[in-house]
C-alpha cells in the first residue's frame, strides 16, 4: 500500500482507570473497504469516536492524508472529508428525510459566515438530495419526517446524510445491524457503489457474513488491543481471532 | 379604535418582537433561555440613555441599541452556550438577575429611580402619537417576522434546526454547535433589543423592575403557547398572553400562577403549541383552509 488515506498510530484512550483502546495502529488505503471487528466492548465504537473527533485520544495520533487530525472538533473533521453514521441512529427527527440530506449538503458553507445566508430551498439542492435518497433506496419516503421512519430506513438515511461529508472516508457504525436479509443486500450494493466512487469505507460490523463478504481487509480488536489484521480469509483462520471471537460467535452463526 | 386598545395592541406588538427573538433561540436552535427579558432591558436602557444623555434621536439610537444588545448577547452567550439544557436554563436565569441588579444598583443606569423623560419618537417632523406608534411597532414586527421567515429558508437556519434535533449528528455534517448556537443567540438578542428600544420610547419611563425574571417567563410562555419553532407562534402567543389578563382582569394578581398553569397545561396537552404540528390552531386552520400547510 502506498500513502494511506487514514493512519492511526499508537492510538490510546482511557476512561479513568479503564483502557478502552490501547496503542492501536492501522491504516486505510484509498478506495479500500476496511472492516473493524471484535467482540462487544472491544473498543470499536471508541475508535470511531476518536477518528470523528467526538472523543479525544489519551495518546497516539491520527493522520488524514498526512495531516494530523486528532484533537480537532467533530465539525472540522467532517469538513475535511470524513462522514460517519451512528450505531444508535441520530436522525434530525422533525425534519423530513429530504431535509436531513439537504442539511448535510451545506457542509461546504457552514464554515463561512458569509455563505450561510443563501437559500437551501431551491430545486438544485432538492434534486441533489433526492438523488442521494434514491441511491439509498429512500426516494419514496423523502417528504416524511425522519422521526417516524423505521430502523431500516433510518440506517440508510444515516448513510445518505453522511455522504456529503464523506468525500474521502465513510465510517459506518453497525449500519447492517437489526436489518433483515432483503435489506442487507441492497445496502451492500450501496457500500460497494460508494467505494467505486472513490470513497474509502471503514465499517464496524457484527454480522460476519457481511464483514467477510464486503471488506478487503479486517482489523480485529479485543479488549482495546489489535489482535489481528489482514485479508478476511486470513483473519478468519488466525488462531488468536478464533479464540477471542470467531470461535464462539462464528460457530454459533454458522450453526 | 379606543386609546386603551391601541395601547394594548402596541405593547403586544412590542412583546411579540421580543418573543420572535426568543423563538429563534429556543424554537429554531433549541437552546433554552430563561433570561430573555435581560436583553429586552439592555435594548431599552441603551435607547433610553442614548435618547436622554446623548441626545440621539430614536432613529440614530435604534441601530446602536440593537447592535449593543447583539454584542452583549455575543459576550454572554459565548460562555453560557457551552453548557446544555438545565444548566443553560439556570445560567440564563442568572444573566437575567445580574442584568437587573446592574440596572437597579449602578448610578449610570438611574439606579432604583430608573430613567424618565425619554423623548417620543419623531417622524415626518412631529412626534409619533398613539396610532402612529402602533403602526410603527406593527411595521417593525412585520420586519422581524420577515427576518424569521428568511432565516428558516437559509443555510444558517437549517443548521440551527439540525443542531436543535441532534447536536452530535449536526457536528458530523460540519455544523459547529457553539458557533450556530451563538448565531441564534445573537440574532434573538438583537430582536429583543429592537423590542426594548421601542418599549423605552413608548413608555418614556423605564425601571429595572420592567425587565425582571417574570417577564422572561412570560416571554417563554408566549413562545410555548403560540407554537415553539413556528413562524407566527410567538405573535399569537404574545397576543394571547397580552390579552388574557385584560379579559380576565381579576387574574392580574395571580399572573405568575396563571402563566405557570398555562405553561404546564400546554406542555401536557399541546407540546408543539397552538400553531405546532398537532396544535389546536393548526388543526382549526387546516379545517378552514383544506390543503393549507402554514
A142 inside domain: no
3-class secondary structure, B32: coil
Mean residue pLDDT of chain B comes to 90
Average pLDDT of A220-240?
89
Cell of B82: 457551552
A224 inside domain: yes
Residues paired with residue B290 on neighbouring β-strands, in sequence order: none
pLDDT tens for each residue of A21-40: 999 999 999 999 999 998 88
Residue pair B189/B29 in contact (Cβ under 8 Å)? The answer is no
For residues B184 and B189, what is the distance between their CA atoms, to the nearest angstrom? 8
A72 inside domain: yes
What's the pLDDT score for residue A171?
A: 97
For residues B188 and A139, what is the distance between their CA atoms, to the nearest angstrom? 36
What's the pLDDT score for residue A248?
A: 57
CA distance A184 to chain B (A): 23
> What CATH number is given to the structural domain containing A186?
3.40.50.300
Nearest to B161 among A86, A95, A104 (CB): A95
Q: Is the pLDDT of residue B294 over 60?
A: no
Residue pair B141/B191 in contact (Cβ under 8 Å)? The answer is no
Task: Provide the 8-state DSSP code for A150.
Answer: -
CA dihedral in degrees (A64, A67, A70, A73; nearest 10)?
-90
Tell which residue, B179, B184, B156, B137, has the closest CA to residue B21. B184
Question: Is the CB of A79 inside 8 Å of chain B's CB atoms?
Answer: yes
Question: Is the CB of A241 inside 8 Å of chain B's CB atoms?
Answer: no
* Concatenated DSSP letters of B174-195: T--HHHHHHHHHHHHHHHHHHH
Question: Is the CB of B148 inside 8 Å of chain A's CB atoms?
Answer: no
What's the pLDDT score for residue B289?
A: 66
Other Cβ atoms within 10 Å of B94 Cβ, number = 15
Query: How far from B265 is each of A253, B224, B225, B237, CA to CA, in Å?
Result: 52, 11, 9, 14
A125 inside domain: no
Cell of B57: 434621536
pLDDT tens for each residue of A125-151: 999 999 999 999 999 999 999 999 999
Task: Provide the 8-state DSSP code for B119.
Answer: P
pLDDT band at B18 (very low <50, low <70, confident <90, very high): very high
Q: 3-state DSSP helix/strand/coil percent for chain B, to nearest 5?
A: 75, 0, 20
Cell of A22: 490501547
CA distance B235 to chain A (A): 22
Strand runs (DSSP E) across A197-249, as ranges? Answer: 200-204, 217-222, 225-231
Provide the domain count of chain A.
Answer: 1
Average pLDDT of A67-93?
95
Going by their DSSP bridges, the two strands A59-64 and A6-15 should be labelled as antiparallel
A247 inside domain: yes
Task: Provide the 8-state DSSP code for B276.
Answer: S
Number of residues assigned to chain A: 255
Interface contact flag, A93 B155, Cβ < 8 Å: no
Q: Which residues contact B195 (CB under 8 A, 6 or more apart)?
A: B14, B15, B17, B18, B21, B40, B43
Task: Provide the 8-state DSSP code for B212.
Answer: S
Tell which residue, B36, B41, B7, B22, has the closest CA to residue B246. B7
Disruptive mutation site among B149, B169, B182, B293 for chain A (greatest number of A CBs within 10 Å): B169
Q: What residue numbers bound the domain in which A25 lies? A: 6-91+152-254
Q: What percent of chain A is modeled with pLDDT above 70?
A: 95
Tell whether ipTM is more than 0.95: no
A57 inside domain: yes
Distance of CA B219 to the CA centre of its chain: 6
Task: Provide the 8-state DSSP code for B106.
Answer: -
pLDDT band at B81 (very low <50, low <70, confident <90, very high): confident
Phi, psi of B202 (to 5 degrees): -80, -45
A146 inside domain: no
pLDDT band at B293 (very low <50, low <70, confident <90, very high): very low
Cα four-point dihedral sign B123, B129, B132, B137: positive
Cell of B60: 440614530
Residue pair B256/B54 in contact (Cβ under 8 Å)? The answer is no
A130 inside domain: no
Disruptive mutation site among A56, A69, A74 for chain B (greatest number of B CBs within 10 Å): A74
Amino acid at each position: 500500500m502506498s500513502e494511506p488515506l487514514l493512519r492511526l498510530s499508537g492510538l490510546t484512550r482511557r476512561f479513568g482507570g479503564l483502557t478502552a483502546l490501547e496503542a492501536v495502529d492501522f491504516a486505510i488505503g484509498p478506495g479500500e473497504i476496511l472492516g473493524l471487528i471484535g467482540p462487544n466492548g472491544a473498543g470499536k465504537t471508541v475508535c470511531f469516536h476518536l477518528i470523528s473527533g467526538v472523543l479525544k485520544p489519551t495518546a497516539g495520533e491520527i493522520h488524514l492524508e498526512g495531516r494530523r487530525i486528532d484533537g480537532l472538533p467533530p465539525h472540522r473533521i467532517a469538513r475535511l472529508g470524513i462522514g460517519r453514521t451512528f450505531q444508535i441512529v441520530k436522525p434530525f427527527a422533525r425534519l423530513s428525510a429530504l431535509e436531513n440530506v439537504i442539511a448535510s449538503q451545506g457542509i461546504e458553507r457552514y464554515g463561512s459566515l458569509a455563505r450561510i445566508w443563501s437559500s437551501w430551498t431551491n430545486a438544485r439542492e432538492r434534486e441533489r438530495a433526492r438523488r442521494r435518497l434514491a441511491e439509498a433506496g429512500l426516494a419514496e419516503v423523502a417528504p416524511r419526517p425522519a422521526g417516524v421512519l423505521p430502523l431500516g430506513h433510518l440506517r440508510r438515511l444515516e448513510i445518505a446524510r453522511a455522504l456529503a461529508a464523506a468525500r474521502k472516508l465513510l465510517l459506518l457504525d453497525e449500519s447492517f445491524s437489526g436489518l433483515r436479509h432483503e435489506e442487507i443486500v441492497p445496502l451492500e450494493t450501496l457500500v460497494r457503489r460508494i467505494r467505486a466512487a472513490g470513497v474509502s469505507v471503514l465499517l464496524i460490523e457484527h454480522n460476519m457474513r457481511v464483514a467477510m463478504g464486503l471488506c478487503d481487509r479486517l482489523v480485529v480488536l479485543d479488549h482495546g488491543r489489535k489482535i489481528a489484521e489482514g485479508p478476511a480469509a486470513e483473519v478468519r483462520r488466525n488462531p488468536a481471532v478464533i479464540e477471542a471471537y470467531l470461535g464462539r460467535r462464528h460457530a454459533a452463526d454458522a450453526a | 379604535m379606543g386609546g386603551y386598545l391601541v395601547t394594548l395592541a402596541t405593547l403586544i406588538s412590542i412583546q411579540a418582537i421580543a418573543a420572535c427573538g426568543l423563538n429563534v433561540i429556543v424554537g429554531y436552535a433549541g437552546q433554552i433561555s430563561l433570561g430573555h427579558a435581560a436583553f429586552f432591558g439592555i435594548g431599552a436602557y441603551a435607547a433610553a440613555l442614548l435618547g436622554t444623555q446623548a441626545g440621539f434621536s430614536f432613529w440614530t439610537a435604534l441601530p446602536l441599541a440593537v447592535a449593543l444588545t447583539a454584542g452583549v448577547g455575543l459576550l454572554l452567550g459565548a460562555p453560557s452556550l457551552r453548557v446544555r439544557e438545565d444548566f443553560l436554563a439556570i445560567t440564563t436565569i442568572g444573566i437575567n438577575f445580574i442584568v437587573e441588579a446592574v440596572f437597579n444598583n449602578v448610578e449610570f443606569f438611574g439606579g432604583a429611580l430608573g430613567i424618565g423623560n425619554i423623548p417620543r419618537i419623531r417622524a415626518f417632523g412631529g412626534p409619533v402619537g398613539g396610532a402612529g406608534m402602533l403602526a410603527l411597532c406593527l411595521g417593525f414586527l412585520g420586519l422581524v417576522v420577515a427576518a424569521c421567515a428568511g432565516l428558516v429558508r437559509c443555510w444558517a437556519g437549517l443548521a440551527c434546526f439540525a443542531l436543535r434535533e441532534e447536536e452530535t449528528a449536526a457536528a458530523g455534517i460540519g455544523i459547529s454547535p457553539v458557533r450556530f448556537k451563538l448565531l441564534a443567540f445573537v440574532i434573538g438578542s438583537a430582536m429583543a433589543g429592537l423590542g426594548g428600544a421601542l418599549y423605552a420610547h413608548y413608555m418614556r419611563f423605564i425601571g429595572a423592575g420592567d425587565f425582571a425574571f417574570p417577564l422572561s417567563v412570560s416571554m417563554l410562555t408566549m413562545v410555548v403557547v403560540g407554537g415553539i419553532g413556528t413562524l407566527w407562534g410567538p405573535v399569537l402567543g404574545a397576543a394571547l398572553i397580552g390579552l388574557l389578563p385584560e379579559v380576565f382582569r381579576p387574574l392580574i394578581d395571580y399572573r405568575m400562577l396563571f402563566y405557570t398553569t398555562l405553561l404546564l397545561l400546554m406542555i401536557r396537552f399541546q407540546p408543539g403549541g397552538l400553531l405546532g404540528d398537532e396544535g389546536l390552531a393548526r388543526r382549526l386552520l387546516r379545517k378552514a383552509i383544506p390543503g393549507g400547510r402554514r
